[in-house]
Structures are given as structure tokens and as C-alpha cells.
Amino acid sequence: MDTDKITEKQKLCVSCMKCCREVGIYTHPDMYVNTAEELIHFYEARGFSVERSGDMLVLSLRHSCPHLTAAGCDIYEKRPQVCKDYSGPADFGSSCLWANLPGEKKSNR
């Protein structure tokens, strides 16, 4: 990454890197025979943090991407489209450092 041209959002991401260190998976209790409470207990006992988003459950697990370095993404210019499209505020709410930037879309969690 050319650090002379780094944007305000990129600066915040390099100081945070949460999106590249955590994997979030959305699932719905209707996919299981168990209740939502049983699923939350099951996943929390296995190291996930679990939040509700409406009827959905959001399972988060710490798992750093192999492309993450202390300076950020080592394939930044060629990172996958899903990384380019990813929304920190939508997935991490107020714990995303972008959340308080003017005009930033607020969390859906």
C-alpha cells in the first residue's frame, strides 16, 4: 500500500485489522432442530462469540487471514472482491472504527 495516499478509513483499518482477524458467519436457527439458545451455548462452548441480528445468529471466531501482516494486507491491491466490499460497521457495529465517521452507514446489528 502507498502510505502517502492512505485514506482516513485505511488508517483506521491498519490500526484495527478486526475484519482480517475475525471470521463472521451468519446462520438461522430454522436450519437446526435445536433452539437458538441451545445453538448459542453450543457455539460459545467452542470458542465463538455469538450475537443475534434479528432472527439470525452471527457466529464470530478469531482467525487471522494468512495475508495479514503488521503493516496490513500483503495483497492489498489484489485482495478478493469480498474484502473490497466488506462493511465493518455493518458487521461489527460501533466496535468498527469507521462507525463514527461522518456519513458512514450505521450498523445493522
User: Shortest Cβ contact with ligand SF4: which residue?
Assistant: 88
Instruction: Give whichever of 39 and 96 is closer to ligand SF4, judged by the CB atom.
Output: 96
Q: Where are the beta strands (DSSP E) in the chain?
A: 22-27, 49-53, 56-62, 68-69, 72-73
Q: Establish if 67 lies at the interface with ligand SF4 (CB under 6 A).
A: yes
First-to-final CA distance of the chain: 31
- 8 Å CB contact between 15 and 8: no
Smallest CA-to-CA distance from 9 within 82, 100, 80 is with 100
C-alpha span between 53 and 51 (Å, rounded): 7
| Of the candidate residues 27, 50, 79, 90, the single one contacting ligand SF4 (CB under 6 A) | 79
Min dist. Cβ of residue 13 to ligand SF4 (A): 3
Q: Is 60 in the site for ligand SF4 (CB under 6 A)?
A: no
- Using CB under 6 A, which of 6, 8, 18, 37 touches ligand SF4? 18
Residue from the set 23, 49, 70, 83 that interacts with ligand SF4 by CB under 6 A? 83
